[in-house]
Amino acid sequence: MIALASPALAQDGATGQDASGATSGSSSTDGEPQAEEIIVSGYRQSLRTAIAAKRNANRVVEELAAEDLGKLPEASIAEALARLPGLTTNRDRGNGTQISIRGMGPNLVNTLLNGREIASAEGSRNIRYEQFPAELISGASVYKTPTGSQVEGAIAGQVDLKTVRPLDYDETKVALNARAIYSDLAKDVQDTAPWGYIASASVVTQLLDNTLGLAVGYSGRRQSVATVRTNIFRYTNSFADLDGDGAGAPGHGGAAQDDIPYGYEALERGGDDIRHGAVAAVQWKPSDKFELNGDFLYSHVSFEETQRGFRVGSLAFGNNITDVTTRNGYVTGATITGEQDFGQTISGVNENFFFKDDLYAGGMNATWRPSDGWEITGDVGYSTTTRNQQYLTLQTDPFGFRPTASFQSGNDSVPVMTINSDMTDPSLWRVARFQIPNGAAARIKDNLLTLTGDVRREIGEGPLAALQFGVRHTERTKTYTAMSQFGDIALADRQVLDPSLINGPYRFKGEFANLPAVQSLDIVRTVESLFGPINPQQSVYDQTSSWRVKEKTSALYGQVDLEGTIFGVPFNGNVGLRVVRTETDSRSTSLFQDPNGVVVTPIVVKNEFYDWLPSLNLTLKPTSKLQVRFAASQAIARPPLDDLNAGSGLFDFGTPTANGGNPLLEPFRAKQLDATVEWYFDRDSALTISGFYKELGTYITRQVTERQLTDVNGNPQTVAFTQPVNGSGGSIKGFEVGLQKAFTFLPAPFDGFGVYMNYSYTTSDITVSEADNALGATPLPGLSKHVGNASLYYSKSGFEARIAFRYRSAYVTELGDTDRILFNAPESVLDFQTSYEFPTDSRLAGVKLLFQANNLTDEPFETYYGDRNLQGRFEKFGRRVLVGVGYNF
């Protein structure tokens, strides 16, 4: 429900209008006389505009827009969106990157830019929101119920990001912003610096008697990547009663067999998070009958990171295991010494990871109004993105001895991990190998063309307010090329490393200070000196992970806009039908391997399907302050593109197994009902209650199925095939409550206070499971039952302050460190922001000072294996502080 005032809606002088059309100082949005009112601006005005935008919408929608040019409320678009009712964001490297809506993960969310789908550098369709500079985005609409005219592809909701329209401003404006960023954790981490920056400049101007508008903008950012974490790896059956209690873990038929982690690790990660972005827009409106809009966005995002730490593996077999502690048959602590060659492995690790994304997106939109009531619109858009990514690990192993290691894990704290050898000693721990594992280096390219045509005819009589129909066509091609490289040194040939390649020891600090220290190496120079140039190539095993998917969609729709009265009660809304055809062409490689060798075969799979998507949105207005909304619709979300990979691998070494993608996947499909009650009890206040119900016919998840496959000799084999499938569906339901209130009834200066709060509850009977998942069926990935936001703000006389709390209850993660499903622990994030803008009669008019502090309590990111005491990842991101100045003139 919250929005921040866009230039077109912001008040203009003493007689400006807000989005409801009410003139400040004379009347209220509900038509009741009101005493003369002081003009407000900034955050409070944005909340007032939010009420008007919510009130006037023809469906269930949330709005986010900048107060002014370059003034979104958060440094991250994802974190700004996460303040809205029912929206949440994950935390990756401490940043909000992807959005979940109403408990449904990013796979069920569709993201647009200026109404157009955009290419994605992820293997799926998901968008990483940090690629969009917040300083260059003017706002966003979050559509929770669809219409016939809306682009299909979302079940949870659709986010439409918007760049500036120059003629929305009535004068030339220049915005300059500069902020220093400080990460308090970065000082304890190698390979990064605690200080960074954000700098942006935007210009909007109008020419030719305000018929031609131009806008350009640039934003650059460098901030540190600084995290420290531990991981307990997935649990596996030890086939032994390790604690001697005569009982074992669930799932073993009552046998006394405990499950033990495959291993564990501790890593610090440091590096640079760099982003450069630019936008340009042109708007030409020579008359009321014709308008032309063009827009372009470029974004470059790069992460360059180095990790230092250690990794322990192969705990289950070939070891002497003592001092065992368990919880319900799961080992949570032990002391282990390897006794066999296949037993415990311990390595110091020096790793680097990078990805570099370049996105180009643009389009042209023309609207012609040949006569009163008619409107014809055409739109063409094209976006392309490329990503280059690589993960490399350089490992040092103990030379000629088997050390003993121990661990003890719990929850909400750093686990105890010890190794009885000095891992910083280069004579004891020598370089053994480097790896760019299969698929760890990749090139991704995505091209997307969209063509849209719409015709609208206003009627304005009776309940039929307007008729609208249109067509849309898209063509998309995405390629994913996987690569790898390996180097290994035989035990007898491992030498003490040249001292010039050793940076020195790395010692963990802060909460992690008791973890073992490790060698810090110059990774690239060490690899090149020992193994030669770093040059990953596509191996035969990478071919099944490499793919190309072509997708074409064609859509027709018709929509009727409604407006009138029912039994004397005013109403408006729309009813529509959208028919969509989707065609896919997936190409990859089928691989077969047995003791006699490897055979690969190119494979092509085509598929097509149709969807009929009806929708209804209806708003009743029983009083000037109360309105009730109803919505019913059918929606789809297409499968992730990487799940459509036609590649597969069949391996037969006695027990045949296979894995791969599924190019014949059908989309997620859902039938949806929504109802909301909205009470606008004054210009600054609203209470909304919303309920929703979604029935998904299928949910795509990765499962093991029995399939008949043919080997290279033409012989059929029944194999356990792991692939994404259209699994069972089910219901998702919940409700949302939102309240915003400015305390204008308080005496000055306390009348500048106000609150903004929302809470959502979501539940589902959909469950998923993965191969080798000892947890059994788990809840829907990404679904948090409880999500809440609470903000207390003060806004008056140019001074603003806001403290904001965000809570998300536990959920099944889609960002696992292992091949097991993990749960994310509940998160509570506290942020603070304050600013001061000098008055218009000041010599510093137009200058705004800003201070912002994020993650004040240094909330950890923690995962676990079903039971809160079976810890997975424990990670700290630290606090981030921004101090800056802005100047608008």
Residue identified by tokens 């110059």 is: 522
Find, among 826, 831, 885, the residue nearest to 858 by Cα. Answer: 831
Mind listing the pLDDT tens digit for each residue in 588-645? 999 888 888 888 999 999 999 999 999 999 999 999 999 999 999 999 999 999 999 9
Confidence of residue 70 (pLDDT cuts 50, 70, 90): low
Look at the alpha carbons of 331, 335, 339, 343 in this order and tell me if their dihedral is positive or negative: positive
Mind listing the pLDDT tens digit for each residue in 617-630? 999 999 999 999 99
Residue identified by tokens 């190409």 is: 587
pLDDT > 70? residue 189: yes
- Write down how long the chain is: 889
Find all residues with CB under 8 Å of 227, minimum gap 6, and list them: 93, 94, 185, 189, 268, 269, 875, 876, 877, 878
Confidence (pLDDT) at 701: 85
Confidence (pLDDT) at 21: 33
Mind listing the pLDDT tens digit for each residue in 450-481? 999 999 999 977 799 999 999 999 999 999 99
Confidence of residue 17 (pLDDT cuts 50, 70, 90): very low
More confident residue, 407 or 96: 407
Confidence of residue 16 (pLDDT cuts 50, 70, 90): very low
pLDDT > 90? residue 866: no
Look at the alpha carbons of 44, 45, 49, 52 in this order and tell me if their dihedral is positive or negative: positive
223-241 mean pLDDT = 94
Confidence of residue 548 (pLDDT cuts 50, 70, 90): very high
pLDDT > 60? residue 386: yes
pLDDT > 70? residue 878: yes
200-211 mean pLDDT = 94
Confidence (pLDDT) at 159: 94
Confidence (pLDDT) at 138: 84
Structure tokens given for 440: 């760890």
Mind listing the pLDDT tens digit for each residue in 144-169? 999 999 999 999 999 999 999 999 88
Confidence (pLDDT) at 710: 66
CA distance linking residue 201 with residue 216, whole number of Å: 8
- Within a 10 A sphere around the Cβ of 622, how many other Cβ atoms? 12
pLDDT > 70? residue 711: no
- Within a 10 A sphere around the Cβ of 57, how many other Cβ atoms? 19
Question: Using an 8 Å Cβ cutoff, are 148 and 167 in contact?
Answer: no
Residue identified by tokens 């439409």 is: 160
pLDDT > 90? residue 2: no
How distant, in Å, are the alpha carbons of 55, 61, 600, 786 from that of 688?
10, 12, 58, 17
How confident is the prediction for the chain on average, in pLDDT? Answer: 89
- Within a 10 A sphere around the Cβ of 101, how many other Cβ atoms? 28
252-277 mean pLDDT = 94
Range of weakest confidence among 4-8, 109-113, 561-565, 658-662: 4-8
Confidence (pLDDT) at 25: 33
More confident residue, 81 or 436: 436
β-pairing, 716-742 vs 657-660, is parallel
Mind listing the pLDDT tens digit for each residue in 743-799? 988 999 998 999 999 999 999 998 887 655 555 677 888 889 999 999 999 999 889
Question: Using an 8 Å Cβ cutoff, are 563 and 571 in contact?
Answer: yes
| DSSP SS3 for 743 | coil
User: E strand or H helix at 47, and its extent?
Assistant: helix 42-56
| DSSP SS3 for 303 | strand
Mapped to the 3 state alphabet, what secondary structure does 757-811 carry? EEEEEEEECCEECCCCCCCCCEECECCCCEEEEEEEEEEECCEEEEEEEEEECCE
How distant, in Å, are the alpha carbons of 305, 435, 521, 522, 860 from that of 191?
8, 21, 11, 11, 22
pLDDT > 70? residue 10: no
Residue 275: strand pairing partners:
221, 301
Find, among 10, 5, 2, 87, the residue nearest to 51 by Cα. Answer: 2
pLDDT > 70? residue 34: no
Confidence of residue 816 (pLDDT cuts 50, 70, 90): very low
Confidence (pLDDT) at 57: 86
91-111 mean pLDDT = 87
pLDDT > 70? residue 37: no
Range of weakest confidence among 56-65, 187-196, 713-722: 713-722
**pTM for the model:** 0.90
Find all residues with CB under 8 Å of 493, minimum gap 6, and list them: none
Cis bond upstream, residue 749 (ω within 30): yes
Residue identified by tokens 């791969």 is: 660
